[in-house]
Structure 1
C-alpha cells in the first residue's frame, strides 16, 4: 500500500490543513445508532466541488478507499468507515450553499451539504414547499438524503427523494465531474444518469449538488391523532382518507401503543391526547394551499365515517398550531426515545399495504418464540406500506436482545420476503444489511448491480462494503 503521509499532504493541499482532521473523531467515525464504530486514516472536509474532485483524485491515485458522508444521521452504517484505519472519510458538511431558487420553474439548486431544514426554509422564503420531512431534518443533509433515497412522512403525497430531484452534480470515482444540474422536466436523450446515483449510497460517485423540485406552499392543515383497534382498521381508515381527502391527504402515519408509551415516558412535555389507551394509533393530516377551504370539514367527515365503520374509536383533532406540533411530536419522538430505553434492533421494511395487517399479526407471536419478552416498537408510513418494525429488549435484558439479533432479523426478513416486500424501505442497506439483501435478491439482480459498480468504480474504492458485499473469493 502507498505510504499514507504523502496522501495526507496532498489532502491538506487540496482543502487546507485546517480541514483535514484526525481519523478518530467520533463525530465522523461513529454512526447515529452507536452500533458502527470505525477508524479512519483522516477526515477531509472540502468546501467546493473542485476540492471534492481533488480529494477523490488523490485517493484514487493512492488507491485509498473513500467514504462519503453527509450529516451522519444514517441508521445502517453507510456513512462511517470500517475499523481498518485505511479509509478516508469525505465529509460534505462545509458545502452549504443554496445556489439558486427559482419559484417560477419550481426548482431549488443546492450544495450536497445543505441541511434539509435549510432547504425547506429557502423554499418557504419564496412561498414554496420542499416536502421531504424527516425526524432528522435539522441535521441530515441533502447529499445523504439523495444517496440513500430517503423517504419520510410526506411520501404518500410527494414520493421518495428520487421523485423530488431533477438533476445532479457528481464527482466520479476517478475525480472527473459530471454536471447534470439541469432543471428540465423533460429530457429524453438517453440513460437517466441522475436516477443511477440516487440511492447508490456513495458507491458509484460523490453527489456534490442537486436541482430539486418545489411545490406550492401548504399553509393550511387539518390534523388528528386517531385511535384504531388493529392494523387492519388503520388500512381501512386509509382507504376512507384517500377518498375523503383526495389530493389533500399528505400524511398517514401509524404507531403501536408500545411506541407511544416510550414517548410518554421519555419525551419532555409529551401528553397522551386521548383518555383511553388503544393498541394502535394513526396520525392523519390533510394539507392545502391558502385558497383551499374545507380541510377541517373533510377531516371531520373522515373521522365520523371511521367511527361508523368501527375503524376508529376516538380522535384528538389539532385546534391550533401548538396542538398540531404536540401531535406531531408524539410521532417524531419515537426514534429518539428508543435510544433512551436501551438496546434496540432496528428494521425498516416495506410490504404490500393489503398484507400489513396479517404480517404484523403473525410476526408478534413468531418473535416471542425467538426471544420471550421482546418488545416490538412499530411505527411508520402505512400510506406507502413502510413499517419501522423495531425491537426493544425485554426489560433489563439488553444482552439477550443482542445475542438473539441474528435470529430475530432473519425471522423478520424471511417473513418480508415471503410477502414480496423489501428489507429496506428508506434507510438504505449500508454495512448492516448488504449481505442480507444479497441473499434475498435474484442472481440476475445482484449481477446487474455488480456490473454497474465495476463499470464506474473498477477499483472498488468508493464506500467499500456498503450496499454490495465483495464477490465470493475476493
Structure 2
C-alpha cells in the first residue's frame, strides 16, 4: 500500500512523471525507486558545480530494466540521465528529470585472450579492472586520476584519459566491442555477428544516415583535416567526429561514436577493451626549472616513445603541497617563478629502464634546472613524488574559503604552443582576480588543468566567471586551435561552446547525430548539444556550511565505494549534501515544511544506518570523517535522561557485563535445546512483534565470555612483560555454538603469550574497566572520555608508568585508546604479534586456506599488511576479499540494524573459495557478522596463531 507521504510526493510531479512512475513500479521494486525530497537531493548531486534535482531516481540492476525504462521514457516523453559513480566534473550526470543510477550493480567481467582483452560491465571501478588484470601484467588503457573511484561506464562515456594514456590508449583507441542499448530499446552487440546483422536489417535508415554524414565529411578536405588535427591532442568537446575519418564500417563508426557521447546517444551496458602492458620497472624524476618557459621547452623534447608521463606543476601548485608530510624540503625554497616537471619512464626490464633514463637525461641536458636532474627507481620514493601531483587538487579543496566550490577546467593546446599558452592562461586568471588559482596538467599531451575557487552564492561573482570563460575560449580556440575540453567531457559546462570550437558545419553534423540516435532528445538532454548560450552559467551549485568536520567536502564522491551503507541507504557524500541543505534551511528560515521533512527522513538512512567506522576518511582526498560528523549529530540528541542512563551503565560496568554474560549463556542454552531453525523463527517473530526494537538473534550469537583473574608482575627479573587488557566485548562474549575453537579469547591470548615467554599483567577490577567506545559511537562523548581516563590511569599504574606495552585484544577498542591515551604504549593483537611475537614463536604453516578480515580500526592504523603477514606465517593460502571493507556490524548495530551488516557483506560468501573453512579477524562483534554471512567460523587471529605455533626452544 502506498504511504500518504509517497502519494503527496507523486501528486507534486507532472502527470507524465506520475504515469512513468506507475509503469516503472511494475518492474523496479520500491527500495530502488525514489521521488521524495531526501533521496532526489542526495542522488542529484555529483562532483560538478551544477545542481539539478531529479524528479525521480531509479536504481537499475540489469539491461532488461534499462530497456523497459527507455521504452516508457519514449512512451511518456520523460527524459533520462544515466549515472555510474558521479565523479563527473562537467555537469554531464545531473538532471531535473529521471536519474538512472547504476552504482551497486553491473559488476560482471571476463578476461579474454590471456589478458589481452577484458569484458567489463559499467559498474566496475577502473582500479578493480586493473586488479583483475594484475596477474597478466596488463591494464586498461584509460588512467584518469579518479581511477580508484570512477566506474567503467563513466570512463567510456566520457572518453576519460589521464596522466599516462595520452591519446593512444584512451577508450576510443582501445575499445574492442560494445553492447549498446539505443534510444528505441534495441540492443546492439558489436561483438556478435548475428546482433550486427539483425541491427543492419532493422535499422537500415540509421545506418544510411551515418554513411551520409561520413560521405559529407570525407568530401570536405578542410573539415577532414580539421578533425585529424584536433584529435592529435586530447579532445572531448562534442561528439567523436574522428570516427567518420578513422572508419568506413558504419558499425565501427557507431561503436566509436558511443565513446565520449556522455549517455546522449545510448546506454553502454558492456565494453570489451584491448588491454595494454603494465610495466613492472618504473622510475620518476621531479625536475625543477627556473620558470614556466623552460619547463615547457623541456616538454617539447619529450614524447611517449621515451617517457610514460610528464606532469607540469606551476609554483602555486607546489605551494599547496609543500607543508604536507613527506614532501621534499626544497619545495619551500623555490622562487616565485619555479615550475616543476614530474617525469616517469617505464621499461620491460631494468636494462630497458636505465636506457630510457639515459635517453631523457640526454634530451634535457641543455635546458637549465634549479636542482640537478635525478631519477629514482625506488618505489616508495617515486610514489612520494607522485603524491605531490595527486595531492594538488585535494589541497586546493582543503584551503579554500568555506562556502566556495572548487572548479577545475580542462583544456589542451598543441604541445609546441604550450609555453606561450600557459603564460597567457595565467594572465587571464590574474585579470579576473583568480590569482591564487593553480595551473598543472598532463604536459606531454598539451593538456592543462586550471583550478580556482568560486562562490556561486554571490551574484556579483558570476560576471567574473563568465568573463574568464569567454577569454579562455578565445585563447584556446581562436589563438591556439586547442580543445576546450581535453578529458573531462563536454557536459553542460562546455556545451554552449561546442559550435565555437568546431565551427558551424561540424556542429550541424553533431546535431544531426543527436537527432538520428535520439530524435525526441530524451537521453541526457542539455549535455553536449545545448543551444542555450547561458547554460554553463545556470543551475550553479552553492556549498553551504554544515559543520567544520565536513565543510571542506567538494562532493567528489571518492568516499562512496568504501561506505558500508552505500547499497542500503546513503553514502558519506549524500549525508553531507542533505545536512548542508538542512543547515541552510535553518539559517534562512525558508521552506519550514521541507526542513521538517528532511530532518525526519534523514534519521534512518543518514544516522541509524551509518556505521561511523570512519573508513570514508581513508579514501577522501581531504580526510573527512563523515562518521565523526554522524557521532556529533547523535550527541545533539542526547537528553538529560539519556545521559543519566549512559552514566549509570558506565558506573556499573561489572554488573552490565555480568548480565550480558548471563543473558548470552541463557540464550545459548535455549539455542542448544531448540535447535537453530526453531530459535531463528522465534527470534524473527519476536523482533517483528516488537517493531524491530528487540535485537535480532542469529545462529552465531556467542555464549558468555570469561573474565581472567587479575595478576601483577611476580618476577621482576623476567625480560618480557606485557599488560593485557581484555576488552568488555571479549569479557562478555565467548565462542558461538559452531565456532571451531570453544575457548574464550582471553584463554587463547594467554596461551600465545605464555608460549612466547611473556609474563602477563592483568589489571585489577578488570570487569569495571572500558575504553569508552560504546558511548562514543552513540554520541555520549563525556561518558566515553570519563571511562577512557579511568582506564588509562589504571593501565599507567600497572605498566609501571608506561614501562611495559599494553595489549588490548579488540582492535576497535584499541583504536579509540590510541586516540585518547598518550601515557602508555598500546597494541592490538595483530600489531603485537607482528612486532613482538614472531621472533619468540616457532610457526608451522598449516596446509589450509584461511580468510582474513581487516577491521576498519586496523585499516586506519595501517595494519593491513601486518595482518596479512601474520596470517601468511600461519597458513599456506590467505584470502583477503578486496571488495569487502567495513563489515557493518558496528558494535551492536549488527543486532539492532541487521540489514546494515547484510548489505555490507553481500559479496563475502561468493568471494571465498570452497577450500576455505575458517576466517579470522580481531573484533568479536565483527566476527559474528562475518560468520553469519559467510557460513564459516570467524574468530580472532589469536586463535590461528595459537593453533600453528610452539614455544621456541
TM-score normalised by L of structure 2: 0.45
How far off its partner does 1:287 sit?
Answer: 1.4
Alignment of 1:217-232 (within 5 A): 217-232=278-293
Deviation, 1:248, is: 5.1
Per the alignment, in what secondary structure is the counterpart of residue 21 of structure 2?
helix
Distance in 1, matches of 2:519 and 2:454, equals: 42
Q: Is the Cα–Cα contact under 8 Å of residues 454 and 460 in structure 1 kept in the other structure?
A: yes
Question: 1:26-425 residue pairs with structure 2 within 5 A?
Answer: 26-33=41-48, 35-82=49-96, 87-104=97-114, 106-156=116-166, 158-181=168-191, 189-191=249-251, 192-242=253-303, 247=305, 249-265=307-323, 269-272=326-329, 276-277=333-334, 279-289=338-348, 291=349, 293-300=351-358, 302-303=360-361, 306-310=364-368, 313-315=371-373, 317-342=375-400, 343=404, 344-371=406-433, 374-392=435-453, 402-417=462-477, 418-425=479-486
Tell whether the 8 Å contact from 2:44 to 2:95 is kept in structure 1 after alignment.
yes
CA shift, 1:154, in A, is 1.4
Alignment gaps of 5+ in structure 2: 1-13, 194-245, 534-953
| Higher alpha-carbon deviation: 61-70 or 151-160 | 151-160
Q: Is the 8 A contact 1:367 1:411 kept in 2?
A: no
Which residue is 1:463 aligned to?
524
- Classify the secondary structure of the residue corresponding to 1:258: helix
The structural deviation recorded for 1:338 is 2.1
Q: How many residues align?
A: 457
Alignment CA distance shift 1:312-1:57 (3 Å): farther
Greater share of helix residues, 1 or 2?
2
Cα offset, 1:89, TM superposition: 0.6
1:12 aligns with 25
1:138: Cα distance to partner? 1.7
Whether contact under 8 Å (1:182, 1:211) holds in the other structure is no
CA separation in 2, counterparts of 1:399 and 1:275?
A: 37
The 1-side partners of 2:330 and 2:24 are apart by 54
Q: 1:412: how far off? A: 1.1
How much does 1:15 deviate?
3.1
> Structure with the greater relative contact order (CA < 8 A, sep ≥ 6): 1 or 2?
1
Compute the displacement of 1:27 (Å): 4.5
What secondary structure sits across from 1:57 in the alignment? helix
CA distance in 1, matches of 2:135, 2:482: 39
- TM-superposition CA deviations, 1:299-336 (whole Å, max 9, x none): 25523653543256444533421212211111112222
- 1:182 deviates by 6.0
User: Matches of 2:94 and 2:518 in 1, distance apart?
Assistant: 19
Following superposition, the deviation at residue 231 of structure 1 comes to: 3.3
The Cα offsets for residues 262-307 of structure 1, whole Å up to 9 and x where unpaired, read as: 2335x56545565742521111111122x35241353255236535
CA distance 1:123–1:225, change in 2 (3 Å): same
CA-CA distance at 1:79 after TM superposition: 0.4
C-alpha distance in structure 2 between counterparts of 1:175 and 1:14, whole Å: 16
Q: Deviations over 1:105-137 (max 9, x none)?
A: 710001011111111111113332223222211
User: Of the two, which has the highest radius of gyration?
Assistant: 2
What's the CA shift for 1:17? 2.2
Label 1:399 to 1:43 Cα distance change in 2 as closer, same or farther (>3 A): same
What corresponds to 2:857 in structure 1? none
Distance 1:441 1:173 in 2: 26
2:51 match: secondary structure: coil
* In 1: Cα distance, 2:502 partner to 2:314 partner: 30
Query: Can you list the C-alpha shifts for 1:113-170, whole angstroms capped at 9, x where unaligned?
Result: 1111111111113332223222211211111111111110112384322112111111
* Per-residue deviation, residues 61-90 of structure 1 (Å, max 9, x unmatched): 1211101112100111110113xxxx1111
Moved more, 53-62 or 449-458: 53-62
C-alpha separation between the residues in 2 aligned to 1:163 and 1:274?
Answer: 38
Cα distance in 2 between the residues matched to 1:311 and 1:400:
43
Structure 1 residues not aligned, in runs of 5+: none
Query: Quick one: distance in 2 between partners of 1:398 and 1:225?
Result: 39
- Whole-Å Cα distance in 2 between the matches of residues 74 and 398 of structure 1? 24
The answer as to whether partners of 2:44 and 2:54 remain within 8 angstroms in 1 is yes
Distance 1:387-1:92 versus aligned 2 partners, 3 A rule: same
SS of residue paired to 1:43 = strand
User: How much is the aligned-residue C-alpha RMSD, in angstroms?
Assistant: 2.8
**CA 1:126–1:22: 2 relative to 1, 3 Å:** farther
